[in-house]
């Protein structure tokens, strides 16, 4: 078998899958694959199993895409909650859900989690750290 120790990147991988409208930063397919792979492992470490619903309350952007891909790869059901909902509606959506895990950085989402059945809230940062002990909010 031919071995390529140095990784070459084919044209498909450089394909840009998203441009962050706020920052203008681009997310390539390779970056998406990489980040969601790490995020999948993190979700599993916190107990996400096949069939589990995971709430995702993030603004539209690369993080949302990564989180959604990761939840699906972990075998979960991604349930997005629009981050721009007003506080009451956001809270109602979270409280009504039976999800055990939520991915969000929004303070109002965190607050609603306290009154919901969500056990673990993961931040975007929690999705990417793999070395150190996991933190969460």
Partner 1 sequence: MPEPPRHNLPAEPNRFVGRERDLDDLRGLFGETRVVTLCGVGGIGKTRLALRVAAGLVTAYPDGVWLVELARIGRPELIPQEVARVLGVREEANRPLLDTVTARLRGMRCLLLLDNCEHLVDRCAEVAAALIATCPRLSILATSREPLRIASELIWRVPPLDLPDAGPQAEEAEAVQLFMDRATAAGTRLGPGSLADVIRLCRALDGLPLALELAAARTRLLSPGQIADRIDDRFSLLTTGGRTAPARQRTLLAAVEWSYDLLSVKEQVLLRRLSVFAGGFDLELAEQVCAERPISAAEIVDLLGGLVDKSLVSCDESRRRYSLLETIKRYAIERLEQAGEREVLRERHLDVLCALQERHFSAEMVEPGLPWPRRLEALTMSKRLLDDQRVALDWAAEAGNVAQGLRLCATSTSLLPIGGNLTEIVAWIERLLSLDLAHVAPEQVAHAKAYLAYGLEARDELSRSLELAEQSLAGLAPDNVFPRCVMHSLTVVVLLRMGRADEAVPHAEEGLALATRSGDAWNQAAGLLGLSALALTRGRLREAQRHGEEALARAREHGHRWIMARTAAQLGAVAEARGDLVTAKSQYEMAVPWLRELRSELDLARCLARIGRVAAMLHEFGTARECLGTSLALGRATGQRQGVARCLVGLSVLAEYEGDLEGAILAAGAAATLRESIGQHSATTRIEELLARARTKLGDGRTTSLWSRGLAMSPDDAARHVLEGERLAPRPRMETTAPAETVRHSLLTARELEIAHLLTRGLSNRGIAEELVISPATVARHIANIMEKLGYTSRAQIAVWAAEHPNVPG
Interface with partner 1 (CB under 8 A): 1, 3-5, 7-10, 12-13, 29-30, 33-34, 36-38, 40-41, 44-47, 69-70, 72-75, 100, 113-121, 130-137
Q: Which is nearer to partner 1, 24 or 133 (CB)?
A: 133
Q: Which is nearer to partner 1, 58 or 118 (CB)?
A: 118
Q: Which is nearer to partner 1, 21 or 115 (CB)?
A: 115
**CA–CA gap between residue 73 and residue 2 (Å, rounded):** 29
CB of 100 to partner 1, least distance (A): 8
CB of 130 to partner 1, least distance (A): 4
């Amino acid at each position: 078998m031919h071995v390529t120790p140095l990784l070459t990147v084919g044209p498909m991988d450089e394909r840009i899958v998203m441009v962050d409208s706020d920052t203008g930063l681009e997310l390539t397919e390779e970056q998406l694959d990489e980040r969601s792979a790490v995020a999948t492992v993190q979700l599993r470490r916190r107990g996400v199993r096949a069939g589990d619903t995971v709430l995702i309350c993030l603004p539209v952007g690369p993080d949302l895409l990564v989180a959604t891909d990761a939840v699906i790869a972990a075998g979960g059901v991604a349930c997005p909650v629009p981050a721009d909902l007003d506080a009451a509606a956001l809270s109602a959506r979270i409280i009504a859900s039976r999800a055990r895990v939520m991915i969000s950085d929004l303070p109002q989402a965190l607050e609603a989690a306290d009154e919901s059945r969500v056990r673990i809230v993961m931040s975007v940062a929690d999705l990417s750290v793999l070395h150190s002990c996991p933190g969460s909010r």
